[in-house]
Amino acid sequence: MRVAGNPTKQQLREECIVNDRWEAPLIKVQSLAYIVLQRPDVEQAARFFSDFGLLIDERTDSAVYLRGVSTAHQMMVIEKGAADIPRIGMLAEEADLETLAARFALPICQHSEALGGRYVRLEDPDGLVIEVCSGLKSLSPLPAQPPLPQWNGAGDNKVRVNQMARNPLRPAWVYKLGHTVRSVASMQASLNWYQQTLGMIVSDFQFLPGDPLPVVAFMRCDCGDKPVDHHTIAIGTAPLLGHMHSAFELDNLEELLIGNRWLADQGYSHSWGIGRHVQGSQIFDYWREPKGEVFEHYVDGDVFSAAEATGYHLFNSEAQHQWGPEITADVTGQNRPLQTLRSIARRLFTQDDITVGRLKRLLKAVNS
Ligand SMILES: [Fe+2]
């Protein structure tokens, strides 16, 4: 039901000052392929992600390459360096690499042997490097895993007969890198860039009341009729700029619960969950790795074709999840007041989206 004074979806759409898609983008990326982490202690990071469910596939002098159970391609590279997430890889057609190279006068580079294929190196408006890739190396199939016992339903819906449910604790089996979420300096600049350069479509916007500039945009790839994840890249306005979380897909709820117990038993820091999101519908579970970045296990996300229209919604605490624990101070940043205030103080003297008025509305919305 509409709360008195709150705008309708139609009003939010009419007042919105940014596009939800671009008619003729330069290229259309197909999916997120990998994320590159730089960490001072590569082995510590590799241990966390092994417990998170990724598998160490290759090691070189300069990097560790991790995969999931899929044979598609590597999904994470950990390099030695100051703690940072400087690059991501996205998949595109080989012809798209030629288009980008010609348009921006950039070279088409050869990837490391471990990743394989070729890429063009772009930078988004906030300086995140996006390696648009083609021909990433396929991986060898893993030894077959024993299937999880099926679930018996209620009443006569019993499919597991004379067989007990035994699922020993272990790291979850991860299938793919699904999405990454970042806080950006300018929603307008980022939306223009991701739509015009990479062909991304906004699945859902979220707005603060009375503000025509969205504070969150969930963007998916445009693969025409082929259904794709509700969001592959999401961007938002938040006090701290940069990486907010990246998410990996599991097959089912029991995997997520086993993964949760395993990570808790290893002593890692839980961030938020288990719950079900609203936009994208994923059942989610958020964890912090040792250097403080958040990574998510998720199952049962929505998939859309390019035909699905963009949704327009208000941003508030209820807009983030359908059920599960309330959003935590760890996610909102309210448990890191000094770091948050320092960032806000710096940004108030710039021309980016953080203003005193928007900050007040954000704080009110997140606690409403
Ligand atoms: Fe997520």
pLDDT digit string, tens, across residues 137-173: 999 999 887 777 889 999 999 999 999 998 899 999 9
Q: How far is the CA of 36 from the centre of ligand 1 (A)?
A: 17
Q: If you measure from the C-alpha of residue 286 to the centroid of ligand 1, how many angstroms do you get, rounded to a whole number?
A: 8
Q: Calculate how far, in angstroms, residue 314's C-alpha sits from the geometric centre of ligand 1.
A: 18
**CATH level 3 topology of 9-138+171-366:** 2,3-Dihydroxybiphenyl 1,2-Dioxygenase; domain 1 (3.10.180)
Render pLDDT for 345-359 as a digit per residue (tens, 0 to 9). 889 888 899 988 898
Q: At what angle do helices 253-265 and 42-52 cross, to 10 degrees?
A: 140
How far, in Å, is the centroid of ligand 1 from the Cα of 156? Answer: 36
Residues around ion ligand 1, judged by CB within 5 A, are 247, 296
Ligand 1 center to residue 204 CA distance, Å? 14
Whole-angstrom CA distances from 118 to 38, 89, 91, 94, 99 are 21, 11, 10, 8, 14
Distance in Å, CA 146 to ligand 1 centroid: 28
Q: How many angstroms does the Cα of residue 330 sit away from the middle of ligand 1?
A: 15
Give the Å distance between the CA of 180 and the centre of ligand 1.
Answer: 7
Per-residue pLDDT reduced to its tens digit, 316-346? 877 889 999 998 988 888 888 888 889 888 8
| CA–CA dist 57, 113 (Å, integer) | 12
pTM for the full predicted model: 0.95
CB 219 within 8 A of CB 159: no
Question: What average pLDDT does range 64-74 have in this prediction?
Answer: 96
Residue 295 in this model has a pLDDT that exceeds 90: yes
Q: What is the Cα–Cα distance from 113 to 73, expressed in whole angstroms?
A: 12
Q: How far apart are CA 263 and CA 268, in angstroms?
A: 6
How many Å lie between the centroid of ligand 1 and the Cα of residue 35? 14
Q: What are phi and psi of 123, to 5 degrees?
A: -125, 135
The domain ranges of the chain are 9-138+171-366
**What secondary structure letter does DSSP report for 90?**
E
Question: 134: pLDDT confidence band, cut at 50, 70 and 90?
Answer: very high
Ligand 1 midpoint to CA 254 (Å)? 19
pLDDT at position 4 is 52
Going from the Cα of 209 to the center of ligand 1, the distance in angstroms, rounded, reads: 23
Ligand 1: centre distance to CA 358 (Å): 23
Q: Is 238 exposed, middle or buried (0-12, 13-18, 19+ CB in 10 A)?
A: buried
CA of 37 to the centre of ligand 1 (A): 18
| Residue 283 reports pLDDT greater than 70 | yes
Residues 88 and 77: their CA atoms lie apart, in Å, by: 10
Spatial separation of the C-alpha atoms in residues 311 and 340, rounded to whole Å = 30
Tens of pLDDT, residue by residue over 200-255, are 999 999 999 889 999 999 999 999 999 999 999 999 999 999 999 999 999 999 99
CA of 246 to the centre of ligand 1 (A): 6
Instruction: Place 135 in a pLDDT band, splitting at 50, 70 and 90.
Output: very high
The sign one gets for the Cα dihedral 95, 100, 103, 109 is negative
pLDDT at 260: 98
Whole-number percent of the chain with pLDDT over 70: 99
Position 5 pLDDT exceeds 80: no
Q: Phi/psi of residue 240, each to 5°?
A: -95, 125
> Does residue 3 register a pLDDT over 70?
no
Out of 6-10, 49-53, 110-114, 306-310, which region has the weakest mean confidence (pLDDT)? 6-10
- CA 158–ligand 1 middle distance (angstroms): 33
* Coil, helix or strand at residue 45: helix
Instruction: Output the CA 277–ligand 1 centroid distance in Å.
Output: 8
CA 216 / ligand 1 centre spacing (Å): 12
Give residue 118 CA to ligand 1 midpoint distance, Å. 28
Cα–ligand 1 centroid distance for 150 (angstroms): 27
Residue 2 confidence (pLDDT) above 70: no
- The mean predicted confidence, pLDDT, of the chain is 94
Query: If 0-12 CB within 10 Å is exposed, 13-18 middle and 19+ buried, where does residue 40 land?
Result: exposed
